[in-house]
Structure 1
Amino acid sequence: MPDSGLCLEALSALSGCNVASTTGPSPLSPQDFVNIVALREFYKQQGLQQLEYPGVGALSLEEREDPELYSSPPALTDAPGPQESLRASVKINLQEFFHPKFNYDFTSVQDGNTVFLRGNERYFRPCGWNRVALRVKQKYDGNDCWLGTGKDAWPVSYHAPNMDGSLGIILTHDGSLGHEPGFLDAAAASLTAGFTKGRGVYSTPDIKMAEKYCKVFKSKVDGKMYKVVLQNRINPENRKKCQREDVWLVYVPEGSNPIQTRAIVQESIRPYGLLLKQL
């Protein structure tokens, strides 16, 4: 497993919080982190300035360009920097949060033409990345089939926080959204303007696309630059395919309140790996 401090920095980069370790219970689970990462981008799409999340409070959605700002918080003996002091602080229990038994180092792996399947859909493994496994087995109602390799498994998706509707995506009209107000108008507008924004949370089955939109941070552990992406399973019943085959959308209907929106994300996307790649 990569250095625990590096993993905390990666979680800080993804969530926009100062993430530190604790020996006590973790107030946030891996599911909470994917919720926060997904909801941050969704609420930015809606033009909001902050996200309220239970147990964390108000999270600023302001984008910070300096990768140094994504580093982990300083030691307790050091005074926090002006930007770090403005960020919410959360603590996690490393033993409760990570599952080292299922770590996998893909940094030297090349799959070539080998095809892998998850839920009868192609799984593009994260070759070139180091995966830190999250402790998610037996954390959800039912069994762990969603995490398996059989026909009942959920497909794999990668979430990069900077993926949004600005990619110029429209939903394919498969009938499931036929009654959504404005769908046909949005589709027509895309033909003239060249793009439209699907309302919801984006992810991709293609790790190469996720890498283009991932977070980058400079580590205080070793001074090196890293990319970070979340590896998830996505509920095939809640996923909407987009005009681009390499982009999937979890649709959030108009009028959904914050509790409903969070529930949609939580029922649709489950994280199981933190991916790190050194630049």
Structure 2
Amino acid sequence: MGYDRAILLEGLSELIGAQVKSSAGGGGASGNTFLRSEVSGAPSSSNTLSVEDLLSAVYFPEQFWQDKTSSGIGLRSAPQGVCNDLFLTDCNFFDPRFDYDFTNIKDTTTFMRGSEVYKRPCGWQRYALKVLNKYPDGNAWLGSAGYRTWSDPNEWPVSYHGTGEDGARGIISTHYLAGSGARYGRGIYSTPDPTVAENDGYAKTFVSKRDGQKYKICLQNRINPRRRQVHNGGKYWLIPVPPGTDAWQERDIVMGNIRPYSLLLKRC
């Protein structure tokens, strides 16, 4: 079931803008997971990618790389000795128990998540992220696992988004333009409809070096209903970010209210 794992990592690389590799494959005894400090020889986590890092890496790369490097220099001008490749450990990043192949499914049943209609990502392959027990408020935001048509108490609804061409600043100011350029406010937008995410151009498209085929990738998220604004008849959901908010506060607002829990991959 599913696509070649190498293609998934290619898609993840496109989302983040850095080469993502699995430390589980071909790295020798050390797995080539960590850099060595030129000064002390001690291991460094400056080139590792965790699930907790993902949203920051996709939408706030400057802050992400400042967190990862002691110099505070971002990805595009990384200092000598800092690797622009990122490594993840499959068993800590992915949770295959919750993978699901939607590629040949057409729903006729109505599903609910977080008291909202859950439009499942039909046509996509879902790769679950290892998010259980990752947040201090527990796992209620995810609801219970399995096939269900109802919502659980305190569950967050499902949304979809990819990445904007302008990076973090584009996400905050222009993500998901409505109609002829009208906007519903400053912040980060997502949609409860995977078809909107795909057709409005916010799923990232790439050509795989593995098989030469074109694919799309996007994130499947849960969104905090208490901070979400609903616009355009429910087509777009906005987590508002007030004007004048500094970059670090922007990241905190976004990361506190949107939680990716799956990667979605689709051959075009």
Q: Is the structural similarity TM-score above 0.5?
A: yes
**Is 2:139 the counterpart of 1:140?**
no
Alpha-carbon contact 1:128-1:277 (below 8 Å) kept: yes
| TM-score relative to the length of structure 2 | 0.74
Give the alignment of 1:84-163 within 5 angstroms.
88-112=84-108, 114-148=109-143, 149-162=151-164
Q: What's 1:211 paired with?
A: 198
User: SS at 1:108's partner residue?
Assistant: coil
Alpha-carbon contact 1:31-1:270 (below 8 Å) kept: no
Alpha-carbon contact 2:176-2:189 (below 8 Å) kept: no
User: SS at 1:167's partner residue?
Assistant: coil
Give the alignment of 1:1-279 within 5 angstroms.
1-22=2-23, 23=31, 24=33, 27-39=48-60, 51-53=62-64, 54-55=67-68, 57-59=73-75, 88-112=84-108, 114-148=109-143, 149-162=151-164, 164-165=174-175, 167-168=177-178, 195-196=182-183, 198-212=185-199, 213=201, 214-279=203-268
CA distance in 2, matches of 1:261, 1:273: 23
Alpha-carbon contact 1:108-1:128 (below 8 Å) kept: yes
CA distance in 2, matches of 1:165, 1:197: 10
Gap regions ≥5 residues in structure 2: 24-30, 35-44, 77-82, 144-150, 165-170
Q: Which amino acid aligns with 1:102?
A: F
Q: What's 2:39 paired with?
A: none
1:4-58 residue CA offsets vs partner (Å, 9 max, x unmatched): 2112111111111111122448732223222332346xxxxxxxxxx33221652
| TM-score relative to the length of structure 1 | 0.72
Alpha-carbon contact 2:184-2:231 (below 8 Å) kept: no
Q: Aligned pair in 2 of structure 1 residues 201, 194: CA closer, same or farther (>3 Å)? A: closer
1:204-241 residue CA offsets vs partner (Å, 9 max, x unmatched): 00000101221111112222111101000001111112
- Aligned-residue CA RMSD (Å): 2.3
User: SS at 1:128's partner residue?
Assistant: coil
